[in-house]
C-alpha cells in the first residue's frame, strides 16, 4: 500500500482550464512537499506546507495542507503548456528520517 496516494494519475487539459491534484494519506505528517518533474530532469521543489489548513500561493498554483495534516491539494488556475510535467507530493514519514517518500505522481499535459 502506498503511503501517499495521488489522484488523478493522468490529466490532459486545454490551455486556460483549471485543475486540482490531490495527495492523500491515512497518516499524519509534520510537513508535506510538492515537486514538479519535467522530462529528463530531476524533481524541483515547489512548496513546503507545515501547518494544518495552511494555504500557499505560487503565482497560479495554490497549495493547501489539510486541517488534520493527512492530505494536500494543488490547484492550478488557467493552466499553461509550461505547467506540463509530473507533479509529486512527498513527505518525511517519521522524525529523524531525512529521505523523502514520494506519492505515486500526477502526470499533467496541457494542450495549447
Partner 1 sequence: GEEVAQTPKHLVRGEGQKAKLYCAPIKGHSYVFWYQQVLKNEFKFLISFQNENVFDETGMPKERFSAKCLPNSPCSLEIQATKLEDSAVYFCASSQGRGTDTQYFGPGTRLTVL
Q: Enumerate binding residues for partner 1 (CB under 8 A).
A: 40-45, 48, 86, 88, 97-102, 104-105, 107
**Residues in CB range of 101: below 8 A, 6 or more apart:** 3, 4, 90, 91, 92, 93
- Please give the C-alpha separations between residue 24 and each of 21, 66, 82, 94, in angstroms, as whole numbers: 10, 9, 26, 17
| Closest CB to partner 1 among residues 20, 104 | 104
Q: How far is the CB of 109 from partner 1 (least distance, A)?
A: 13
Burial of 90 (0-12, 13-18, 19+ CB in 10 A): buried
Q: How far is the CB of 27 from partner 1 (least distance, A)?
A: 16
| Closest CB to partner 1 among residues 1, 14 | 1
| Closest CB to partner 1 among residues 62, 101 | 101
Cell numbers given for 70: 493527512
| Closest CB to partner 1 among residues 6, 61 | 6
Q: How far is the CB of 16 from partner 1 (least distance, A)?
A: 26
Q: How far is the CB of 64 from partner 1 (least distance, A)?
A: 19
Please give the Cα distance from 86 to 111 (Å, whole number). 15
Amino acid at each position: 500500500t502506498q503511503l501517499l496516494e495521488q489522484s488523478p494519475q493522468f490529466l490532459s487539459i486545454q490551455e486556460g482550464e483549471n485543475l486540482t491534484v490531490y495527495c492523500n494519506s491515512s497518516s499524519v505528517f509534520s510537513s508535506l512537499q510538492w515537486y514538479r518533474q519535467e522530462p529528463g530532469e530531476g524533481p524541483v521543489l515547489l512548496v513546503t506546507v507545515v501547518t494544518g489548513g495552511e494555504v500557499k500561493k505560487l503565482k497560479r498554483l495554490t497549495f493547501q495542507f489539510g486541517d488534520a495534516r493527512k492530505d494536500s491539494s494543488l490547484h492550478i488556475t488557467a493552466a499553461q503548456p509550461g505547467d506540463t510535467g509530473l507533479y509529486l507530493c512527498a513527505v518525511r514519514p517519521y522524525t529523524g528520517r531525512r529521505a523523502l517518500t514520494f506519492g505515486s505522481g500526477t502526470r499533467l499535459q496541457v494542450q495549447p
